[in-house]
Homo-oligomer: A and B are copies of this chain.
Amino acid sequence: MKNTIGNEITITLFGESHGPAIGCVLDGLPSGFTIDMEHLSRSMDQRKAVGSISTGRHEADAVKFLSGVKNGVTEGTPAAILIENTNTRSSDYDALADLPRPGHADYSAQMRYSGYQDKAGGGHFSGRLTAPLVAAGDICRQMLDSKGITIGTHIQNLHGIEDDAFAETGLKEQLDALNSRQFAVLNEETGKRMIAGIEDARNHEDSVGGILETVILGLEPGIGEPEFDSIESRISQAMFSIPAVKGIAFGEGYGFAGMYGSEANDSFLMQDGKVVTRTNHNGGINGGISNGMPIVFTTVIKPTPSIARKQDTVNMKTLENAEIAIKGRHDPAIIHRARAVVDAMSAFVIADMLQSAHGRDWWKK
Question: A240 — which chain B residues lie within 8 A by C-beta?
Answer: 230, 232-233, 236, 288
Question: A67 — which chain B residues lie within 8 A by C-beta?
Answer: 14-16, 19, 21-22, 118, 124
Contact B311 A125 (CB under 8 A): no
A285 contacts which of B5, B77, B108, B288 (Cβ < 8 Å)?
A: B108
Q: Does any Cβ of B come within 8 Å of A319's Cβ?
A: yes
Q: Does any Cβ of B come within 8 Å of A144's Cβ?
A: no
Copies in the complex: 4
Tell whether A289 pairs with B108 under 8 Å between CB atoms, given A270-B319, A303-B259, A311-B265.
Answer: yes
Question: A8 — which chain B residues lie within 8 A by C-beta?
Answer: 7-8, 356
Tell whether A103 pairs with B261 under 8 Å between CB atoms, given A67-B14, A111-B221, A249-B300.
Answer: yes
Stretch at the interface among A37-45, A52-60, A201-209: A201-209
- CA of A211 to CA of B223, assembled, Å: 27
Chain B nearest CB, measured from A231 CB (Å): 9
19 of the cross-chain contacts (CB-CB < 8 Å) are A1-B228, A23-B66, A73-B116, A75-B113, A76-B112, A103-B286, A108-B290, A125-B287, A159-B257, A227-B241, A228-B241, A232-B240, A241-B288, A247-B247, A256-B303, A262-B307, A262-B311, A265-B311, A269-B313
Tell whether A312 pairs with B261 under 8 Å between CB atoms, given A222-B108, A240-B230, A359-B357.
Answer: no
Stretch at the interface among A134-142, A169-177, A184-192, A271-279: A271-279
Question: A216 — which chain B residues lie within 8 A by C-beta?
Answer: none
Closest chain B residue to A243, Cβ basis: B287
Contact B76 A319 (CB under 8 A): no
Contact A108 B249 (CB under 8 A): no
Closest chain B residue to A29, Cβ basis: B2
